[in-house]
């Protein structure tokens, strides 16, 4: 496993090592939860998707009475909240590192049962805009953990455990189970009959002050599923590649703009960009970029067949959440592959809800201009449009700090430190990169030169030789996209080159 540093500067987008701290499930599952004192940021409802409003509840974390068994000093005792499905912890300073572990338990809305403790990935700053870029310097950006998908829930408990030695082996030493996905913590004696780990109280002032200021728990409701959310493909079936189906209803100006940038590929309001044959894709390439192509590229363009892509309208993006303009880079020289580190406990039919959750978390909680990734892929191999601006255009994302210029970011939904990605997802990464990189004449099996915008591996201005298809850890000291997915990238490069006809 690469990217091992002993410093506290390094970060990772894999989940922290689970601790044996959970109270007995039977006792805790029926613990009454008080109503929450909630500060809520409600979604703007001007979007055409009135059936998918969504909302964010923001709960300040409080000092906890110190508990010897857990060591938690900050958090929230069990409480009832409005229904949510995704969560994360946010703090004021985006440059501040959280040297500690965040653990959560949630109560399922359908059954009333509490889960065991789960770890939330605390090191997520390596995703984001490049240092000194307008997006990073906007004044709205905040520090945060990775988002964790927990499914429909109406109760929550949180605890933050500071690291006694931030300079130790910490986040970059590979541990048993390999950090990379949230795992349930094992059971342990809490010493008080299965109640919460500690009441809200004074806590330990020194340990609390060592944590980032302004820590709060954001609970995201991604909104109700729209009628076009697709059913999960049958076992062994390929993702559906049906023709586009325009949504009914009036589109806002923002929704029209987000759809219009794909107008060379599909009609306004399309929910899916259909796949093309190899020949159709080559013809489209000439129509899209003809004047820019060399004679050799026009005579024999190396590009993979365009895969089917669910548009932002298809997954239900509330276009009022993002900034209005689109930001582009000059070309696409490389693709960075990520995992979302949000856990694997989701069905493919829920993927649009997860993406709406990521989008709301990135914009409302982290203060980004839009969702950070250019594309997302679920475990069934379905591909989704990410950051707005047009799937065939060089949209500048916020996915690999220091290397967002002249690249595209592809995130496989899930956590792949200790779990293998599905073969469908790996194939989809290869198909997408064969097409996207082919639009710019890039060979997936080659290397390219990129200039760092600043990060913890390469100083700003450093020219770096990078594989055309790289993992996030190649540009930043992190374990993302998880060891199991990273090992698949060699196969992805070969398949992508084959799809391009090389």
Residue by residue, DSSP assigns 267-318 as -TT-SEEPP--HHHHHHHHHHHHGGGS-HHHHHS---PPPPPEE-HHHHT--
- Contact between 275 and 499 under an 8 Å Cβ cutoff? The reply is no
Beta strands in 344-476 (DSSP E): 375-377, 383-385, 407-412, 447-451, 463-467, 469-471
> How many Cβ atoms are within 10 Å of 60's Cβ, its own excluded?
12
HSE-up of residue 254 (Cα within 13 Å, Cβ side): 18
Instruction: Give the chain's radius of gyration (CA, Å).
Output: 22
Number of residues written out for the chain: 502
SS3 95: coil
Place of tokens 């829930």: 153
Q: Which tokens belong to 283? A: 């013809």
- Give the DSSP letter of residue 187: B
Residue 184: predicted pLDDT: 34
Burial class (CB in 10 A: 0-12, 13-18, 19+), 440: middle
Furthest-apart CA atoms within the chain: distance in Å: 76
Q: Which tokens belong to 426? A: 């790996």
Residue 185: alpha-carbon gap to chain centroid: 22
Place of tokens 């613990």: 31
Distance CA 221, CA 149 (A): 11
| Angle, alpha carbons 34-40-46 (nearest 5°) | 140
Q: Is the N-terminal amide bond of 481 cis, ω within 30° of 0? A: yes
- Contact between 399 and 127 under an 8 Å Cβ cutoff? The reply is yes
- Contact between 463 and 448 under an 8 Å Cβ cutoff? The reply is no
- Contact between 216 and 358 under an 8 Å Cβ cutoff? The reply is no
Distance CA 140, CA 445 (A): 39
- Contact between 404 and 130 under an 8 Å Cβ cutoff? The reply is yes
Distance CA 81, CA 40 (A): 11
Place of tokens 């690999």: 400
SS3 243: coil
SS3 55: strand
Give Cα separations from 51 to 268, 317, 352, 428 (angstroms): 20, 11, 13, 29
Distance CA 26, CA 113 (A): 9
- Contact between 321 and 359 under an 8 Å Cβ cutoff? The reply is yes
Q: Which tokens belong to 258? A: 């987000």
The angle that helices 278-289 and 423-438 make with each other, rounded to 10 degrees, is: 40
Nearest C-alpha neighbor of 314 from the set 367, 239, 366, 365: 239
- Contact between 56 and 218 under an 8 Å Cβ cutoff? The reply is yes
Q: Which residues of the chain have pLDDT under 50?
A: 1-52, 166-197, 202, 226-237, 240-246
Distance CA 250, CA 240 (A): 26
- Contact between 430 and 499 under an 8 Å Cβ cutoff? The reply is yes
Give Cα separations from 420 to 181, 321, 496 (angstroms): 11, 33, 20
- Contact between 143 and 213 under an 8 Å Cβ cutoff? The reply is no
Q: Which tokens belong to 181? A: 């996905």
Distance CA 449, CA 442 (A): 12
Residue 22: predicted pLDDT: 38
The angle that helices 489-499 and 423-438 make with each other, rounded to 10 degrees, is: 50
């Amino acid at each position: 496993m690469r990217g091992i540093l002993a410093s506290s500067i390094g970060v990772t987008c894999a989940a922290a090592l689970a601790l044996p701290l959970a109270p007995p499930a039977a006792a805790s599952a029926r613990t009454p939860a008080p109503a929450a004192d909630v500060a809520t940021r409600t979604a703007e409802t001007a979007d055409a998707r009135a059936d998918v409003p969504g909302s964010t509840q923001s709960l300040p974390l409080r000092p906890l009475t110190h508990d010897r068994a857990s060591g938690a000093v900050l958090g929230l005792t069990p409480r009832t909240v409005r229904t949510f499905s995704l969560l994360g912890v946010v703090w004021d300073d985006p440059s501040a590192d959280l040297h500690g572990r965040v653990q959560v338990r949630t109560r399922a809305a359908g059954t009333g049962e509490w889960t065991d403790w789960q770890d939330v990935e605390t090191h997520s700053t390596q995703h984001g805009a490049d240092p000194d870029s307008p997006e990073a310097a906007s004044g709205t950006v905040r520090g945060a953990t990775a988002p964790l998908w927990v499914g429909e829930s109406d109760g929550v408990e949180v605890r933050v455990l500071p690291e006694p030695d931030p300079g130790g082996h910490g986040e970059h030493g590979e541990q048993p189970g390999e950090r990379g996905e949230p795992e349930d913590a094992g059971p342990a004696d809490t010493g008080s009959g299965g109640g919460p780990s500690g009441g809200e109280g004074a806590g330990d002032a020194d340990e609390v002050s060592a944590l980032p200021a302004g820590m709060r728990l954001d609970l995201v409701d991604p909104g109700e599923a729209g009628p076009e959310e697709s059913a999960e493909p049958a076992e062994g079936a390929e993702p559906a590649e049906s023709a586009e189906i325009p949504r009914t209803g009036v589109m806002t100006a923002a929704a029209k703009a987000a759809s219009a940038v794909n107008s060379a590929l599909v009609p306004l309001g399309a929910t899916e960009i259909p796949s093309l044959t190899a020949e159709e894709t080559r013809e489209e390439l000439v129509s899209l970029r003809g004047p820019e192509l060399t004679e050799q590229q026009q005579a024999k363009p190396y590009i993979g067949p365009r895969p089917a892509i669910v548009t932002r309208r298809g997954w239900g993006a509330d276009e009022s959440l993002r900034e209005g303009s689109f930001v582009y880079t000059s070309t696409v020289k490389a693709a960075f592959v990520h995992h979302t580190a949000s856990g694997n406990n989701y069905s493919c039919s829920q993927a649009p809800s997860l993406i709406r959750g990521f989008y709301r978390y990135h914009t409302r909680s982290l203060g980004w201009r839009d969702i950070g990734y250019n594309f997302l892929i679920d475990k069934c191999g379905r591909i989704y449009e990410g950051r707005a601006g047009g799937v065939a255009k060089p949209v500048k994302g916020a996915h690999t700090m220091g290397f967002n210029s002249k690249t595209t970011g592809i995130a496989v939904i899930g956590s792949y430190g200790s779990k293998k990605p599905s073969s469908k997802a790996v194939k989809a990464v290869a198909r997408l990169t064969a097409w996207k990189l082919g639009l710019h004449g890039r060979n997936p099996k080659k290397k390219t030169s990129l200039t760092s915008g600043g990060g913890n591996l390469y100083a700003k201005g450093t020219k770096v030789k990078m594989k055309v298809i790289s993992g996030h850890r190649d540009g930043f000291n992190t374990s993302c996209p998880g060891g199991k997915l990273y090992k698949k990238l060699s196969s992805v490069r070969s398949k992508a080159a084959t799809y391009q006809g090389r």
